[in-house]
């Protein structure tokens, strides 16, 4: 006979309201993922709004021109940005939304990949969901991630592929030595790293940072004895090989230009002023408070990993964090050396951010979870709001010539004036009516905004060399009897160029002056020149201008 058991007393109302064991943790994890999704969606919507408010900048239309001649390389960069823009224009045509759609997809991939990487690095579960949410929030508020990735520039593809490569590297380092799972993650890292090479040459600093970390840390040196890193290197270099071959065929023109661009000596400013300018630029791209928190996190990750180097196992989190810290530090050191010779543009060291953001998102020390985190996020969000409003309307007391957003404005009016000049009776009797400017940025903008989007030459007289020097030029295409509409600065130097080019033709005419405006402010002024009956067009220069020529 089974003895009766005592029945449990009925639950009170308060007890029924208490979550089951583990439910609180599950709720926190779900909340973390919910917020991560919210931040990703908000960032995507904000980028879409900004993309609609800001016309294409000159560099964006320059890269758009590349898509008309897809190659394995270009004068300034590898072809990654051309591939991205081409994807968008296939979907939405030769329009602003078409140019920026591919980079928008890359920005979304950056955000999603960073969230995944933070979740893994923090150990999944509730801590991982919280870190994923923090990573998503960081990539929403720091200017380089939201504002910078609105534009169709090589940084869009670089950020996406570098973040995905870092995800692959972190997971490969978390896997046991010589395991199949590790080999799979190394394969992903190799593919993404090769794509990053195709996006921008500075991507080479990512594997350089990893190699430095492996050489420094005993637990990481063991990775040289497994096949995964070597396989990843083979994949990356194979993907990059067409870019190398293109450079070989073109006498290493792109490599030489970028090396000279970063290391040719400059008389502008002192070494100290350039180094401070480099730091100030990074503080602006990340916002000041968050930049300090990012730097502190990288420091602690490097210090802790170094201190535990004799006892740590190869798969320990401290070892992976050490590797990410070194990957972040190496680009900064590289451009600090570059700044000792010439000024460094703020976006050049962008590779410091993907791994630094992951470290800060997963950091559990007090400084990263305290009021300074809240203040940093709030201040970055405030800056983001201010810049977004400035993109909508010129609210800040900036002179139009010093407003970087103003560089995107006025090109529609200039193209309209060029179109009127193409129909001017002065050009009657000419065969072909070509269009030219003296700078590649202006040629690209005019070409994009003209109704038929024709070829527009860049004469590059006393201007820095660029991709137009590798294509057909006015020296090659303008034939006897042709006419041309040209755009120069509306000043004595511009008039001198107008007269100089006029010597190529039987007649010339000084046309209208066009003010490039943003709102009520004048950004700059250009002068239209008309030429008819070409007769003395000089031969194309035998060699490109010096790579250290004026910009």
According to the model, what pLDDT value does residue 181 have?
94
Distance (Å, whole) CA 278 – CA 36 = 31
Stretch 530-548: mean pLDDT? 75
Residue that the structure tokens 């224009």 belong to: 89
Nearest CA-CA partner of 316 in 135, 116, 121: 121
pLDDT band per the 50, 70, 90 thresholds, residue 398: confident
According to the model, what pLDDT value does residue 80 have?
96
Whether 465 and 516 have beta carbons less than 8 Å apart is answered as no
From the number of C-beta atoms within 10 Å of its C-beta (0-12, 13-18, 19+), residue 401 rates as exposed
pLDDT digit string, tens, across residues 84-113: 999 999 999 999 999 999 999 999 999 999
Distance (Å, whole) CA 145 – CA 341 = 28
According to the model, what pLDDT value does residue 544 have?
52
pLDDT band per the 50, 70, 90 thresholds, residue 204: very high
Nearest CA-CA partner of 431 in 469, 479, 374, 368: 479
pLDDT band per the 50, 70, 90 thresholds, residue 18: very low
Query: Per-residue pLDDT for 543 more than 70?
Result: no
Whether 54 and 150 have beta carbons less than 8 Å apart is answered as yes
According to the model, what pLDDT value does residue 24 have?
54
Q: Dihedral of the CA atoms 47, 51, 52, 56 (nearest 10)?
A: 170
Beta bridge partners of 529: 486, 510
Distance (Å, whole) CA 77 – CA 71 = 11
Torsion sign over Cα 227, 230, 236, 239:
negative
Can you list the positions of beta strands (E) in 327-408? none
Percentage of the residues of the chain whose pLDDT score is greater than 90: 74
pLDDT band per the 50, 70, 90 thresholds, residue 6: very low
3-state DSSP: the chain helix, strand, coil percent, rounded to 5? 65, 10, 30
Q: What is the 3-state secondary structure (H, E, C) of 253-277?
A: HHHHHHHHHHHCCCCCCCHHHHHHH
Q: Hey, what are 14's tokens?
A: 């308060």
From the number of C-beta atoms within 10 Å of its C-beta (0-12, 13-18, 19+), residue 521 rates as middle
Q: How far is CA 337 from the centre of its chain?
A: 21
Give 400's contacts (C-beta < 8 A, 6+ positions apart).
394, 406, 517, 518, 521, 522, 523
Query: Per-residue pLDDT for 23 more than 80?
Result: no
Query: Per-residue pLDDT for 458 more than 90?
Result: yes
405-428 in b/e form (b: 16+ CB < 10 A) is bbbbbbbeebbebbbebbebebbe
Percentage of the residues of the chain whose pLDDT score is greater than 70: 93
According to the model, what pLDDT value does residue 370 have?
87
Distance (Å, whole) CA 37 – CA 42 = 9
Distance (Å, whole) CA 345 – CA 349 = 8
pLDDT band per the 50, 70, 90 thresholds, residue 540: confident
Query: Per-residue pLDDT for 293 more than 90?
Result: yes
Query: Per-residue pLDDT for 411 more than 90?
Result: yes
According to the model, what pLDDT value does residue 548 have?
41
Distance (Å, whole) CA 509 – CA 501 = 11
pLDDT band per the 50, 70, 90 thresholds, residue 121: very high
Average pLDDT taken over every residue of the chain? 90
Whether 119 and 144 have beta carbons less than 8 Å apart is answered as no
Q: How many CB atoms lie within 10 A of CB 345?
A: 12
Whether 51 and 103 have beta carbons less than 8 Å apart is answered as no
CA-based radius of gyration for the chain: 28
Distance (Å, whole) CA 506 – CA 223 = 71
Distance (Å, whole) CA 289 – CA 381 = 12
pLDDT band per the 50, 70, 90 thresholds, residue 549: very low
Return phi, psi of residue 530, to 5°.
-120, 135
Coil vs helix vs strand at 463: coil
Torsion sign over Cα 165, 167, 170, 171:
negative
Query: Per-residue pLDDT for 400 more than 90?
Result: no
Highest mean pLDDT among 87-91, 273-277, 309-313: 87-91
According to the model, what pLDDT value does residue 463 have?
83
Beta strand 456-458 pairing with 433-437:
parallel
pLDDT band per the 50, 70, 90 thresholds, residue 1: very low
Q: What is the 3-state secondary structure (H, E, C) of 132-178?
A: HHHHHHHHHHCHHHHCHHHCCCHHHHHHHHHHHHHHHHHHHHHCCCC
Query: Per-residue pLDDT for 2 more than 90?
Result: no
């Amino acid at each position: 006979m089974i003895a009766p058991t005592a029945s449990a007393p009925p639950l009170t109302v308060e007890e029924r309201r208490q979550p089951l064991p583990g439910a609180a943790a599950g709720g926190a994890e779900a909340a973390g993922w919910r917020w991560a999704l919210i931040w990703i969606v908000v960032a995507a919507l904000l980028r879409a709004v900004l993309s609609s408010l800001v016309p294409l900048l000159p560099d964006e239309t320059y890269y758009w021109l590349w898509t008309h001649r897809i190659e394995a390389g270009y004068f300034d960069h590898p072809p990654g940005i051309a591939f991205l823009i081409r994807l968008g224009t296939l979907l939405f045509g030769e329009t602003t939304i078409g140019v920026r759609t591919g980079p928008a997809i890359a920005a979304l991939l950056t955000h999603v990949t960073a969230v995944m990487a933070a979740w893994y690095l923090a150990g999944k579960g509730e801590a991982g969901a919280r870190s994923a949410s923090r990573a998503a929030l960081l990539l929403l508020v720091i200017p380089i991630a939201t504002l910078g990735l609105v534009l169709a520039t090589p940084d869009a593809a670089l950020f996406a592929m570098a973040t995905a490569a870092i995800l692959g590297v972190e997971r490969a380092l978390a896997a046991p030595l010589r395991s199949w799972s590790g080999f799979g993650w190394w394969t992903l890292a190799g593919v993404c790293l090769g794509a990053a090479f195709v996006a921008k040459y500075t991507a080479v600093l990512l594997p350089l940072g990893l190699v430095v970390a492996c050489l420094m840390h005993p637990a990481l040196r063991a990775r040289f004895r497994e096949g995964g890193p070597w396989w990843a290197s083979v994949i990356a270099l194979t993907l990059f090989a067409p870019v190398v071959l293109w450079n070989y065929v073109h006498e290493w023109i792109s490599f030489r230009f970028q090396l000279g661009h970063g290391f040719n000596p400059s008389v502008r400013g002192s070494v100290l002023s350039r180094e401070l300018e480099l730091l100030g630029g990074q503080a602006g791209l990340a916002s000041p408070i968050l930049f300090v928190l990012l730097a502190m996190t990288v420091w602690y990750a490097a210090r802790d990993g170094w201190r535990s180097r004799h006892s740590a196992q190869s798969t320990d989190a401290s070892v992976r964090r050490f590797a990410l810290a070194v990957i972040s530090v190496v680009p900064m050191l590289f451009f600090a050396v570059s700044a000792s010779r010439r000024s460094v543009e703020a976006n050049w060291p962008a590779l410091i951010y993907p791994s630094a953001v992951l470290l800060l998102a997963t950091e559990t020390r007090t400084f990263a979870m305290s009021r300074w985190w809240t203040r940093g996020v709030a201040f970055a969000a405030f800056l983001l709001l201010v810049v977004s409003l400035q993109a909508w309307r010129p609210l800040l007391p900036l002179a139009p010539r010093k407003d970087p957003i103003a560089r995107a404005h006025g090109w529609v009016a200039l193209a309209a004036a060029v179109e009127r000049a193409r129909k001017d009776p002065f050009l009657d009797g000419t065969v072909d009516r070509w269009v030219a400017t003296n700078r590649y940025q202006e040629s690209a903008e005019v070409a994009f905004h003209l109704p038929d989007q024709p070829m527009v030459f860049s004469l590059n007289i006393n201007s820095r060399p660029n991709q137009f020097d590798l294509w057909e030029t006015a020296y090659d295409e303008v034939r006897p009897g042709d006419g041309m509409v040209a755009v120069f600065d509306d000043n004595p130097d511009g008039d001198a160029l107008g007269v100089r080019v006029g010597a190529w033709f039987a007649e010339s005419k000084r046309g209208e002056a066009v003010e490039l405006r943003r709102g009520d402010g004048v950004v700059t002024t250009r002068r239209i020149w008309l030429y008819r009956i070409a007769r003395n067009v000089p031969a194309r220069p035998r060699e490109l201008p010096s790579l250290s020529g004026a910009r």
